[in-house]
Amino acid sequence: MTTAEATTSRKLTYVAAIADGLRCALREDPLVFVAGEDIAGYGGVFGHTRGLLAEFGPTRVLDTPISEAGIIGLGVGAAATGCRPVIDIMFMDFMGECGDEILNQMAKMRYMFGGKARLPMTVTTMAGAGMNLAAQHSQSLEAWFCHIPGLKVVMPATPYDAKGLLLAAVRDDNPVVVVFNKRSLGMQGDVPEAAYAVELGRANIVRAGTNFTVVATGRMVHEALAAAMALAQDGLDLEVVDPRTLQPLDIETIVASVRKTHRALVVHEAVRFGGFGAEVAAQIQELAFDHLDAPVGRVGAPFAPVPFSPALEKLYVPNADRIAAEVRRVVGLQV
């Protein structure tokens, strides 16, 4: 790849960046294939595999029966025998249908074979609320998978990261769960034309700041940036950190930020109780306790299923206003 190719960029939507990442992966390795429900002829219910069937054919872009357990089983067997499957689970909520294959087979196989087996398998899925798809099609369950040894978990927040993290996942010799966000699909951003990988396990400081750290995941990165703009009027200069990879977590970058700013807030769309943010908050207090001027704050969804009602769902999903209010609470400003 030449320098010009690496830097040539164009505006793509988040969903187009996913398709572009898959296209690059299929082109660069004949052992890569994509399988899932409605991803071939229909191009995916979200449009993220559109055009792939015409270019690569039905042996590399496969429609599957409606059986999540079977689809993951296909991927595990194919990966163990030398392929690099990308298995698409339409909604993250459906991951429960293939729990045993993920928990006891995909995550454990390399360990059970003493490191002699490789499992270069990528599982892509769509998470998040805000589209009035109700309680069974709107959940953010990334904390489940971060808790399973043997899995890597990434959450792209931008079109650039959607392509780059996906390619890094496909190239990795371990199983990786890539959690995309449904409400981000139309978001536009700069995406290089060439194939590139965003390193797994490396956080991104999206906005540099001096007196408050916000660690945000997925779409909440953009809500945190909006909150930072609003809070600048209060004299608060927020640093926004996007972990990008939740497992393994780049805690070093997060802790370095907190040691500089002395305050922290963790934000995710998932239910607050038992969420990924609790782990980040715990590690911050373990590794940077003496640098904290206030307890670590957390923002997440209420402990309830995602409502179908548009008005209730709007109240349910965390946003910039709730982030700003929690930041003010942590620093002791009147809310």
Q: List residues with catalytic annotation.
A: 137
Compute the distance between CA of residue 31 and CA of residue 25 in angstroms, rounded to an integer: 10
CA neighbor of 240 nearest in space, from 228, 256, 253, 252: 228
Compute the distance between CA of residue 36 and CA of residue 87 in angstroms, rounded to an integer: 6
Tell me how crowded residue 106 is: count the other CB atoms within 10 A of its CB.
27
Compute the distance between CA of residue 138 and CA of residue 130 in angstroms, rounded to an integer: 8
E strands in 80-120: 84-89
Could you say which DSSP state residue 26 is in?
H
CA neighbor of 20 nearest in space, from 64, 45, 58, 50: 50
Question: Contact 172/153 with Cβ under 8 angstroms?
Answer: no
Angle (deg, nearest 10), helices 14-28 and 159-171: 30
Sign of the Cα pseudo-torsion (68, 72, 78, 84, in order): positive
Tokens of 86: 């990308």
Question: Contact 307/242 with Cβ under 8 angstroms?
Answer: no
Tokens of 60: 């590399």
* Angle of CA points 251, 169, 104, to nearest 5°: 85
Strand order in the sheet with 152-154: 61-63, 32-36, 84-89, 122-127, 176-181, 152-154, 245-247
